[in-house]
């Protein structure tokens, strides 16, 4: 076969994070690399009961083709849950179900991006989103993340160049774990509206908070502006997912956006895979009945809270001077900064020999800097493993500092 | 929100076929429109047992993230089944699992197509594939389908213009139901190889044959050429699916292609949705054990054979002179040609009032002709409904002929 591949794919590199996953088969390996939820927290019995019930009650329907927008009762469930828990009023017609948030990135890019269009991103940024967007060959405009979220002065400068979209993770950002304060969220909306640039708000971890008060989503603040000002049509495309609160292997996420945008995303989804698995959507809807997800979120919060604390304590105990880290109030990740002379990318091989894995920070820095940083996941391993893994990691770092 | 959509989406129309699905909620409607399998034939109990077994044996694993290429035991199962049933030797590394064949179209387009690249298509062509490809803004070069498959002289002319890909459905083509004879398959491979144009062979229905002998897939003939000529690397990207032999609501299909192509498709899949549902893949693998699928295919063949015959008999009984149709040896569809003066597109509204639905042939003709044709699905309705539906359809046609 003559391999005349398209430019977009020839330019794309394999996801480094997913390449690291290959080492995880080793049972001795302690992995802080993936964004894997703790599998012990998956509600296996709840999903089993739901699957049985769904197949017995209406199996043929659960296995048939269904709509590109998603299973209506599931969209109604999501709509009701936002209203009840967060006071966000959203019509089911403003919700699209997709195969994980990764597909939402692809659909949004497909609907909005021309080659060389600019996307404003946080810096460092979630690389999974960049990988999706990258196939549409955009330019990026980077806005620095400070310890308290996005640098809004830099943001305003970036928006003056008329970018097509802006991508942010306001809660417990991937990779840094930082959170955007509520006042900055409001400013973000105002600035974005002033320059007419839609905000993609990616919120996979919003419900996984272990300390402090829940902050309103940018989408909620934006909807309050719509209520105050009837002519304001809203400027946020909001993403969230069942991957972190139920199970990622079901590949179920959702987009909330104005109807005009949802209808274009659904059109794109028709073309890319017709629809998300009917069976998984109906099972998730069934699992969600009788408050199961709210109860389950509390279980996950407790487990991950303990693991985050274990990681913070282990870092305190083992890390040499000159290493600093973020203190995330929720989510799955924290961010480690090494002394300038230590290169986390080249150190990875040695860390893997020590049986500990992480993601080098460089991969979240499309401009090529950040070599002395790394992302650590604290949701996957139990506290004992976390302590041992941080100990191994500290040893590898100390060896580098001695050299 | 400023709706600055990309050109590729502004140019795309909603799928007419999926719009017709909206009428199907009416219980009085007899639908020949979708490519829906008969839901009574879904192995609900088999899937329920498999789901229970999978969740009880290793639930956490079934619900976790997994590889972009697909669940390895499922790829091994597919590999073994091709070898055993069809004599096709394919390594699991040459197989990619995706969310239905629709996703395979998108991934192939993403990997190969630049704007304005040419794809050679059958004419009329399967519109779902065209919808996927369309987002990449290719040109089409149409090759006429005769009653015995592709016109190979026209094909050779089309290939002289250096197209990027060729798309064919050799078995029981969608929409026409025609099948490419084995000698023409061999010629197809030779011509495609001579001009260096990869063949996308879409084979969703190959196992659903109701009369005559099974024909070797183009992929199999191509692999025999590889055996005969060690330097020939193969020129086929083969697609098939569990949608028609198990259940479409699981969204499970596969691509068979040379390793270099699979690795690019997997890279694209990382970007578009990370991976296909782990749970569904493990369940399908479990369902496939102990020869279940082979037995189940026989059940489907029997049911659809009866329905095809019912439709052929009903057409014979009810249709007025001047209406002709194809005699498909398998698959889900047959193709009806009306007298020139009858426009099947404008007749659809009246047919729907008569409570019978079909897809106007025009939608499979990107050049805008074919107004006097329609596609009829015979897998979804039972024989009694088929007879009644064809009766209603014949009435609508006769009214047009009188005018």
Task: Return the DSSP state at B135.
Answer: T
Report the gap between the CA of B218 and the closest CA in chain A (Å).
14
| pLDDT mean by block of 10 residues, chain A; 403 residues | 90 71 80 89 95 96 94 98 96 98 98 97 95 96 90 95 96 96 96 96 97 97 92 94 95 97 96 97 95 93 97 98 97 97 94 94 92 96 97 96 82
Contact A201, A218 (CB under 8 A): yes
Across the interface, whether the CB atoms of B68 and A128 are under 8 A apart is answered: no
CA proximity to A122, closest of A162, A160, A172, A161: A172
- Report the C-alpha gap between A193 and B388 in whole angstroms: 57
Taking contacts as CB-CB distances below 8 angstroms, the residues of chain A near B60 are 39-40, 42, 44
Q: What is the pLDDT of residues A171-229, one digit of tens each?
A: 999 999 999 999 999 999 999 999 999 999 999 999 999 999 999 999 999 999 999 99
Q: What does the pLDDT read at residue B12? A: 77
Nearest to B60 by CA among A285, A46, A298: A46
CB contact under 8 A, B135 and A260: no
Residue B174 pLDDT:
96
A-B Cβ pairs (cutoff 8 Å, strict): 238
What is the DSSP code (8-state) at residue B368?
A: S
Entry pTM: 0.96
Q: Residues, chain B, total? A: 403
**CB-closest option in A268, A273, A279 to B250:** A279
Distance CA B328, CA A27 (A): 54
> What pLDDT does residue B18 have?
65
Say what the pLDDT of residue A290 is: 87
Has domain B7-43+294-402 been given CATH number 3.30.365.10? no
Backbone φ, ψ for residue A213 (5° rounding): -90, 150
The residues near A121 (Cβ < 8 Å, ≥ 6 apart) are A129, A130, A140, A141, A142, A143, A166, A167, A366
Which pLDDT value is given to residue A17?
A: 66
Within 8 A of A276 by CB-CB distance, chain B residues are 99, 251
- Is A6 close to B112, i.e. CB distance below 8 A? yes
The secondary element (H helix, E strand) that includes residue B204 is none
**Long-range contacts for B222-225 (Cβ within 8 Å, ≥24 apart)?**
B222/B189, B223/B88, B223/B89, B223/B90, B225/B189, B225/B193
CB-CB: which of B47, B68, B248 is closest to A64?
B248
* Average pLDDT across chain B, whole number: 94
Are the beta carbons of B55 and A51 separated by less than 8 Å? yes
Of B63, B110, B247, the CB nearest to A8: B110
CATH 3.40.640.10 residue window(s) in chain B: 65-290
Question: Which residues on chain B are in Cβ contact (under 8 Å) with A279?
Answer: 247, 249-250, 280
Nearest-5° Cα angle at B379, B286 to B131: 85
Give backbone dihedrals phi and psi of B374, rounded to 5 degrees, phi first: -155, 155
CATH 3.40.640.10 domain position(s) in chain A: 66-290
Q: Which residue from B243, B177, B146, B209 is spatially nearest to B32, judged by alpha carbons?
A: B177
CB-CB under 8 Å, A135 with B268: yes
* Interface-testing mutation among B8, B27, B41, B63, with chain A (most A C-beta atoms within 10 A): B63
Q: Three-state SS across chain A?
A: CCCCCCHHHHCCCCCHHHHHHHHHHCCCCEECCCCCCCHHHCCHHHHHHHHHHHHHHHHHHHHCCCCCCCCHHHHHHHHHHHHHHHCCCCCHHHEEEECHHHHHHHHHHHHHCCCCCEEEEEECCCHHHHHHHHCCCCEEEEEEEECCEECHHHHHHHHCCCCCEEEECCCCCCCCCCCCCHHHHHHHHHHHHHHCCCEEEECCCCCCECCCCCCCCHHHHHHHHHHHCCCCCCCEEEEEECCCCCCHHHCCEEEECCHHHHHHHHHHHHHHHCCCCHHHHHHHHHHCHHHHHHHHHHHHHHHHHHHHHHHHHHHHHHCCCCCEECCCCECCEEEEECCCCCCHHHHHHHHHHCCEECEEHHHHCCCCCCCCEEEEECCCCCHHHHHHHHHHHHHHHHHHHHC
Q: Does the beta-carbon distance from B48 to A59 stay under 8 Å?
A: yes
CATH code for residues A66-290: 3.40.640.10
A250 in contact with B at a CB cutoff of 8 Å?
yes
Per-position b or e across A215-253, b if 16+ CB within 10 A of its CB? bbbbbbbbbebbeeeeeeebbbbbbbbbbbbbbbbbbbb
Out of A66, A248, A272, the one facing B249 most closely (by C-beta) is A66
Structure-token pair, residue B243: 């949608």
Rg of the Cα atoms in chain A: 21
Q: Where in chain B is the domain with CATH 3.90.1150.10?
A: 7-43+294-402
φ, ψ at A67 (rounded to 5°): -80, 150
Which residue, among A60, A61, A273, would best test binding to B if mutated, counting the most B CBs under 10 Å from its CB? A273
Query: Nearest-CA neighbor of B44 among B297, B204, B247, B243?
Result: B247
The answer to whether the Cβ–Cβ distance between A15 and B270 falls below 8 Å is yes
Between positions 38 and 77 of A, the ones with CB within 8 A of B are 39-40, 42, 44, 47-48, 51-52, 55-56, 59-68
Average pLDDT, chain A: 94
Indicate the SS3 state at residue B31.
strand
Q: How distant is the Cα of A191 from the closest Cα of chain B, in angstroms?
A: 13
| Nearest C-alpha in B relative to A234 | B1
Residues of B in contact with A59 (CB under 8 A): 42, 44, 47-48
Q: How far is B250 from chain A (nearest CA, A)?
A: 5
- Which residues in chain B have Cβ-Cβ distances shorter than 8 Å to A67? 18, 21
Q: Which fold has domain B65-290?
A: 3.40.640
Q: Do B36 and A114 touch (CB under 8 A)?
A: no
Q: Which of B271, B280, B285, B287 to substitute to test the interface with A, most A CBs within 10 Å?
A: B271
Minimum-distance CB partner of B66 among A67, A111, A249: A249
Q: What ipTM score was computed for the predicted complex, to two decimals?
A: 0.95
Whether cis (ω within 30° of 0) applies to the bond prior to A287 is no
* Segment 177-236 of chain A within 8 Å of chain B by CB: 196-198, 233-235
Contact B51 A48 (CB under 8 A): yes
Residue segments in chain B with a per-residue pLDDT below the cut of 50: none
Q: Which of residues 258-297 of B touch A (CB under 8 A)?
A: 258, 260-261, 264, 267-268, 270-280
| A102 contacts B250? CB cut-off 8 A | no
């Amino acid at each position: 076969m003559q391999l005349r591949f398209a430019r977009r794919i020839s330019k794309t590199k394999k996801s480094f994070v997913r390449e690291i996953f290959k080492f995880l088969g080793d049972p001795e390996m302690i992995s802080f690399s993936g964004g894997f939820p703790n599998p012990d927290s998956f509600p296996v019995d709840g999903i089993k009961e739901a699957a049985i019930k769904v197949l017995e009650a209406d199996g043929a329907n659960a296995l048939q083709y269904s709509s590109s927008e998603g299973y209506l009762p599931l969209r109604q469930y999501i709509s009701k849950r936002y209203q009840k828990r967060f006071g966000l009023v959203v019509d089911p017609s403003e919700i699209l179900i997709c195969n994980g948030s990764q597909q939402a990135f692809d659909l949004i890019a497909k609907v909005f991006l021309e080659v060389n269009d600019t996307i404003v991103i946080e810096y460092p940024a979630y690389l999974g989103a960049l990988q999706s967007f990258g196939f549409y060959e955009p330019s990026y405009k980077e806005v620095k993340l400070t310890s308290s979220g996005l640098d809004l002065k830099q943001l305003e400068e970036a928006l003056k160049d008329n970018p097509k979209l802006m991508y942010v993770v306001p809660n417990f950002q991937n990779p840094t774990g930082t959170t955007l304060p509520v006042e900055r969220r409001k400013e973000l909306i105002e600035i974005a509206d002033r320059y007419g640039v839609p905000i993609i708000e990616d919120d996979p971890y919003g419900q996984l908070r272990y300390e402090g008060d829940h902050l309103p989503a940018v989408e909620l603040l934006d909807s309050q502006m719509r209520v105050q000002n009837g002519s304001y049509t809203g400027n946020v495309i909001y993403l969230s997912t069942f991957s972190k609160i139920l199970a990622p292997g079901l590949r179920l996420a959702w987009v909330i956006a104005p109807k005009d945008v949802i209808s274009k995303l659904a059109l794109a989804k028709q073309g890319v895979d017709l629809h998300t698995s009917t069976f998984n959507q109906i099972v998730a809807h069934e699992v969600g009945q009788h408050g199961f997800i709210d109860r389950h979120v509390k279980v996950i919060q407790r487990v991950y809270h303990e693991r985050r604390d274990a990681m913070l304590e282990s870092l305190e105990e083992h890390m040499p001077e000159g290493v600093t880290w973020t203190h995330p109030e929720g989510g799955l990740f924290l961010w480690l900064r090494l002394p300038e002379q230590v290169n986390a990318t080249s150190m990875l091989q040695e860390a893997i020999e020590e049986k500990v894995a992480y993601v080098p920070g460089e991969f979240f820095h499309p401009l090529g800097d950040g070599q002395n940083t790394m992302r650590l996941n604290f949701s996957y391993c139990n506290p004992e493993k976390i302590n041992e893994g941080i100990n191994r990691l500290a040893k590898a770092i100390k060896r580098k500092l001695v050299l």
